[in-house]
Amino acid sequence: MITLRGLTKRFGATVAVDALTVDIAPGRVTGFLGPNGAGKSTTMRMILGLDRPTSGTALVDGRSYRELRRPLHEVGALLDARAVHPARSGRAHLLAMARSNGISARRVDEVLDTVGLDGSAAAKPGRTLSLGMGQRLGIAGALLGDPPVLMFDEPVNGLDPDGVRWVRHLLRSLAGQGRTVFVSSHLMSEMQLTADQLVVIGRGRLLADAPVGDVIAGS
């Protein structure tokens, strides 16, 4: 469960996220829909403790990110441009993440397999990976700690149609396992196929929080 209460972020005069109050429940895919610049990434960064709220709170299972004892085991995330280290190989990146979080090398190979990065792709330096491969690597990182809460920021960017279907299937199955799945997109058409619930924002403000069918009917 992700709990946002009056979550607000200002960058100078820009109100990137404006008093967002939402519960993101387990066992379903919650789509986070809004145009570019709406505040989706900033919201996710605050949930992960990477941006500090100007006011309000973002909690994962009742605790702020800083209070999580084993963060990678409690929340996994794919955020833009975080996945790929230019020089390190994908596998080395995941091994480093695993090592500093008490996770085995075997688990690294397991998640690489889950995302379909085979031995040679996983051995390439980050800078040589395609966008789609980078996305898969980032998703592998999110899954590493087997967390109950997962966030994906525009996960289908750069993926081919097979990759898009694969991500959709993965998100559905993670939710089916009872996990909280929070996924951002600027594409209603994509969210319609992937999400159960939709949280819609524009200019940082909550515009809707409803089952996906209701949002379509009302739009």
3-state DSSP assignment of residue 25: coil
Taking the complex as a whole, the smallest distance from the CB of residue 165 to ligand ADP amounts, in Å, to 23
Site string for ligand ADP, 140-169 (x = CB under 6 A): -xx---------------------------
Q: Does 72 bind ligand ADP (CB under 6 A)?
A: yes
Distance CA 163, CA 133 (A): 10
By the 8 A CB rule, do 155 and 139 touch? yes
Amino acid at 3: T
Considering the complex, state which of residue 12 and residue 161 has its C-beta at the smaller distance from ligand ADP: 12
Q: Does 114 bind ligand ADP (CB under 6 A)?
A: no
Which residues 22-61 are close enough to bind ligand ADP by CB under 6 A? Answer: 34, 36-42, 48
Taking the complex as a whole, the smallest distance from the CB of residue 141 to ligand ADP amounts, in Å, to 4
Which helix (H) or strand (E) segment holds residue 207: the answer is strand 205-211
Q: Does 75 bind ligand ADP (CB under 6 A)?
A: yes
Q: Does 98 bind ligand ADP (CB under 6 A)?
A: no
CA-nearest of 76, 40, 60, 65 to 151 is 76
Considering the complex, state which of residue 33 and residue 217 has its C-beta at the smaller distance from ligand ADP: 33
Q: Does 183 bind ligand ADP (CB under 6 A)?
A: no
CA angle 46, 48, 53 (to 5 degrees): 20
Q: Which residues pair with 78 in a beta bridge?
A: 152
Q: Does 130 bind ligand ADP (CB under 6 A)?
A: no
Taking the complex as a whole, the smallest distance from the CB of residue 214 to ligand ADP amounts, in Å, to 22
Pair of tokens at residue 1: 């469960």
Q: Does 171 bind ligand ADP (CB under 6 A)?
A: no
Q: Does 195 bind ligand ADP (CB under 6 A)?
A: no
**Phi, psi values for residue 153, rounded to 5°:** -95, 110
Contacts of 69 by beta carbon, 8 Å cutoff, 6+ apart: none
Distance CA 154, CA 103 (A): 26
Q: Does 8 bind ligand ADP (CB under 6 A)?
A: no
Binding site for ligand ADP (CB under 6 A): 11, 14, 16, 34, 36-42, 48, 71-72, 75-77, 141-142
